Structure 1
């Protein structure tokens, strides 16, 4: 029994140790991130079963997607963005009140040191295979009355079926969006809303109204609520 406890303590200590960064950051990211995240766009050519097997969202177009400073901070203090994980059906269980998230199946993201987070973020920002989609975006950030934006987000577009626009308000199968403006580049937000399949052929997000004004209303609402965080 004592031996078992000692081994358990050793395992927990090892899990809590910070990741070590090598001189070759690209190789280090590949070694420490690729088990859960796609780092090349090859996954886009794979069968739909690739979607079912995901442990975490793809990072192959991270440089087209994220705000670098947010990424550096998040890697040091990660919080869950997708309440039900990258593939929600794998993380739910039945209950008396219907299906609920099985928290025991969701793994916590490892924390990086400031030095590691900076190095990893700088490398991830070089991954930009879909720059042409960013360059094709005409969206210019604007504003919208929060009340009207919320009505459009929920009642008219139905985004709240999958996404939260405030903590504990909205769906759980997609990433929360009340911090989207902080973590995502504006052009990416607009481009993904307009044409999610071009970014991720296996996305669970349906294609909606791709007209520029419709996209701008949603993107501007994310800007309004994001700037309040």
Structure 2
């Protein structure tokens, strides 16, 4: 269901009817011709139309095709090759010929009814393999692929993706999105679902698929309501989670351990970055622009906490071309360190020179995390000269150390807030989103007394 109003449904119907053009209508059938009715019924039964189509009055009519249960164990002498001489008398060759051209073995005495499905050679071979595996003597165990938990969930989910044609609208596993390709501005089309399992919480996702809610009110395209059975919904949720290695079926964010200072800082950053100017109310108040980004009131139940932090750090890395701006320039930039040595001390901070494996692109005079073995130390990047990175730390790391990795916290939104540490500010914004609900109330009053 696309949840259309009566007017919308009538408009779509009128449009579809208009596509027929000026083609002549077919002559009406003579519904009162009893003889024609009888001949038609006979023809339908002979051709087995009721095997695929639901036809009133033929619900109990038997199908015209033979039972295939024992087909895989038929001997060559049980197969009729008709007058054909250029097909080897083997089960494999007979079956290939029959599927490729069902009338190939027809003779004057033996009329064959199976229709030609215009199968490719690859499709014929796949069907032949399926038929060979029927009858209780399938292929040997050695050729069976044993799915582990993750692979099994991915395989089951792909069947659901095909069943509901999800890739007709969305790009999933970098494939599909036929409808999305019609949009010049990709942000106005169906969202790309690469990385969806890493992004959303499974409980919320399950509820969304059962009862679709409006997330992106600016979109004209709509997500249908499929009325899926619970097992199909669960298979889809597990599929996206398994694709991104998120097999744990729950997400926990302990709001009681979040410091009030962090939430308050997040509120300040939310206002300073003017998040509500895009993530606004729907429907918009009179005189206000409609929102152009998702409703953040869903964030704490919809999004995974770690994904929120990664998204705020560098949205372009997750979704190239997104309208979401980068507020913490350089956050997450890394450099491999081959070695480090202590070069002196400046008041209460030790100075180190790090030799990087390649030229580093880290934010200077900003915080970074230096990881040595299993230990993480917060440092300040003082200066970068090609492959040499000078950092300072209150911690004495010794005269020399070996391989390490340094990750920039990026440019902060506020130079004073939380010590000007970009990473702490990213975490504060995440904490605010995961604990807040009324984001309009977080807006700072406008100048001139406007609320």
TM-score (norm 1): 0.63
Quickly say closer, same or farther: Cα 1:53–1:159, change in 2 above 3 A: closer
**What's the RMSD between the two structures over aligned residues?**
3.5
| 1:124 and 2:240 are equivalent in the alignment | yes
Note the residue ranges of structure 1 that are not aligned, 5 or more in a row.
Answer: 9-22, 86-104, 131-140
Q: In terms of mean alpha carbon deviation, does 108-117 or 60-69 score higher? A: 108-117
Give deviations 1:119-155, integer Å, cap 9, x for gaps: 111111122289xxxxxxxxxx73447666444312x
Relative contact order, CA 8 A, sep 6+: which one is greater?
A: 1
> 1: distance between equivalents of 2:438 and 2:231?
27
1:185 corresponds in structure 2 to 304
Number of aligned positions between the proteins = 174
Quickly say closer, same or farther: Cα 1:41–1:83, change in 2 above 3 A: same
Instruction: State whether residues 200 and 302 of structure 2, in contact with CA within 8 Å, keep that contact through their aligned partners in structure 1.
Output: yes
1:152 to 255, 263, 269: 269
1:74 corresponds in structure 2 to 208
Give deviations 1:84-107, integer Å, cap 9, x for gaps: 12xxxxxxxxxxxxxxxxxxx342
1:114 corresponds in structure 2 to 230
2:161 corresponds in structure 1 to 29
1:217 to 420, 428, 439: 428
2:352 corresponds in structure 1 to none
Instruction: State whether residues 144 and 217 of structure 1, in contact with CA within 8 Å, keep that contact through their aligned partners in structure 2.
Output: no
Larger radius of gyration: 2
Instruction: State whether residues 279 and 291 of structure 2, in contact with CA within 8 Å, keep that contact through their aligned partners in structure 1.
Output: yes
| 1:172 and 2:291 are equivalent in the alignment | yes
Q: CA deviation at 1:30?
A: 4.0
Instruction: State whether residues 173 and 194 of structure 2, in contact with CA within 8 Å, keep that contact through their aligned partners in structure 1.
Output: yes
**SS class of match (1:164):** coil
Instruction: State whether residues 165 and 225 of structure 1, in contact with CA within 8 Å, keep that contact through their aligned partners in structure 2.
Output: no
Q: CA deviation at 1:29?
A: 0.8
1:39 to 169, 172, 179: 172
Instruction: State whether residues 280 and 295 of structure 2, in contact with CA within 8 Å, keep that contact through their aligned partners in structure 1.
Output: yes
1:14 corresponds in structure 2 to none
1:58-69 to structure 2, matched below 5 A, reads 58-69=192-203
TM-score (norm 2): 0.34
Quickly say closer, same or farther: Cα 1:79–1:144, change in 2 above 3 A: farther
2:320 corresponds in structure 1 to 201
Higher helix share: 1
Q: In terms of mean alpha carbon deviation, does 62-71 or 161-170 score higher? A: 161-170
